[in-house]
Amino acid sequence: MKTFIATLTTTLLLASPAFADGKIYVQLPDLSSITGAEAEAFLSEVVLANVVSSNCPDFAITDEEWSLLTDSADILAREQLRLSVDEYDSRFYGPAFDALDRPETCAEAGPGVQPTLDRLVELGGSRAALPDQDAAYAAEQARQASWDAPAATQGKTKTK
């Protein structure tokens, strides 16, 4: 029994980064053609779908669908609109969470969750987990690093 527990513990400790992360990665849509005002409007829609599906039990979604929404929103905000994290949060997530203060929000916005997911799928996204979660985790880390790299190089730098 001790050997089994030791083996199980070792296996869990050596488990993939994606497993440790707890997130499920899915194929993301190609959002590169969505820019400007269209990207802002779609980002508002995707963020509201995320907030509503996470907070309105009648419109709950799967973990895979949640990843599709959140990662697509990140792409729209960070790649297409070049928003900082603070801008993204204040301009899009703030209003979406404020909407939850209105009692009619779930009933009014909830029916839009599935059509938003459908559009993301039509653009190439998927509701199914990718088979290689380790590779997906590495790709997501690289994508996020690319978003953070330009921000780190902006501004004054001190040289000798």
3-state SS class at 17: helix
The whole-number pLDDT of residue 93 equals 97
pLDDT interval class at 18 (50, 70, 90): very low
Supply φ then ψ for residue 59, to 5 degrees.
-125, 30
pTM of the model: 0.80
pLDDT interval class at 14 (50, 70, 90): very low
Residues 83-110: what's their mean pLDDT? 96
pLDDT at 122 over 90: yes
How far apart CA 48 and CA 94 sit, in angstroms, is 10
DSSP secondary structure string, 112-135?
GHHHHHHHHHHTT--SSB-S-HHH
Question: How confident is the model over 101-112, as pLDDT tens digits?
Answer: 999 999 999 999
Position with higher pLDDT, 80 vs 11:
80
Asked if residue 74 lies in contact with residue 29, where contact means CB atoms within 8 angstroms, the answer is no
Counting residues of the chain whose pLDDT is more than 70, the rounded percentage is 80
Q: With CA atoms as reference, report the closest residue to 55 among 98, 119, 22, 117.
A: 98
pLDDT at 16 over 80: no
Q: Please, what is the average pLDDT of the chain? A: 86
Q: 26 has which bridge partners?
A: 129
The whole-number pLDDT of residue 148 equals 81
The sign of the torsion formed by the CA atoms of 124, 129, 130, 136 equals positive
Q: What end-to-end distance do the CA atoms of the chain give, in Å?
A: 61
The whole-number pLDDT of residue 19 equals 47
- Token pair listed for 85: 């994290």
The whole-number pLDDT of residue 149 equals 75
Question: How confident is the model over 27-72, as pLDDT tens digits?
Answer: 999 999 999 999 999 999 999 999 999 999 999 999 999 999 999 9
How far apart CA 122 and CA 25 sit, in angstroms, is 18
pLDDT interval class at 5 (50, 70, 90): very low
